[in-house]
Amino acid sequence: MSVWKCPVCGSFMQHRGKSWSCAQGHNFDMAKSGYVNLLPVNRKHAKNPGDNAVMMRARKNFLDAGHYALLLQALEQAAVRYGRAGGVLLDAGCGEGYYTEGVSKALAQADLQMETYGVDISKSAADAAAKRCPNAHFAVGSVYHLPVADRCCDMLMTIFAPYCGEEYHRVLHKGGTMLMVIPGQQHLWGLKEAIYDVPYPNAVRDYALDGFELIQAEYVDSWLKLDDPADIQNLFQMTPYYYKTGREEHARLEQLESLSTQISFEILQYRAVETEQVM
């Protein structure tokens, strides 16, 4: 039985041929790449919500070049610590599937293979993820209304994605693990210095989350040296800064032949608990 639930009536869905359908007769065709669109029209906030094709392509090229391999390795190690053979892994806000694929493979290599699912509101992201990781199941959907049944997941990843604690707590088993990746205060400081006259640090996040107990906070810090202008542009275009700046800032980046910047991540590892047990 799949963990997907029908976005119309909320009942479980089954895979039949090239589509997913529920007992009430609601049917959703799969795309050629293998993902299914479970985002109702009335929950769209734009014609094509989520990351656009430009951002997706830039991120794929940048990540495939191995520039964030240090983060992926640390995330894989965290997943193996808490993985459960035969369990269900959900990547909420999976993007193009880089981390989904890496973690899924690491779990399998550690004899902890888990049934893997990914959800992203962007069609471009779900399509790219399905092509990258054909052994997993991907759907277009919102993390604020996950098309996933209650208490069906053993592990949930949220990596640079919007946080919806109520939904994440709903889909996780009691005692299930949430792996959250957020940027550190100085993440991409060198890039910000190249863009802004007065760069600003990332906001400090409160680790306390309702419904979750913090198990461990792990810090991953390093320096990144980019000597290829194409890599610099890919990094810029995969960040919100590209869309929050104008021609002047874009021109500054286009003139750079090399860039040195700090990369800083926090991997926060949580356990799902009963809400009343949270302090």
Give the annotated binding-site residues for Zn(2+): 6, 9, 22, 26
- In 3D space, the residue among 68, 120, 140, 58 whose CA is nearest the CA of residue 99 turns out to be 68
**Phi, psi (degrees; rounded to nearest 5) at 19:** -150, 170
Q: How far is 128 from 109, CA to CA, in rounded Å? A: 23
Half-sphere exposure at residue 173, Cβ-oriented, CA atoms within 13 angstroms: 13
Contact between 194 and 245 under an 8 Å Cβ cutoff? The reply is no
Q: Tokens representing 121?
A: 């509101």
Strand positions, DSSP E, the chain: 13-16, 19-22, 27-29, 36-37, 88-92, 115-120, 137-140, 153-159, 172-183, 212-226, 259-272
Binding residues: 6, 9, 22, 26, 68, 96-97, 187
Q: Tokens representing 46?
A: 């734009």
Place of tokens 């190690």: 77
- In 3D space, the residue among 242, 154, 230, 158 whose CA is nearest the CA of residue 195 turns out to be 242
Binding residues for S-adenosyl-L-methionine: 68, 96-97, 187
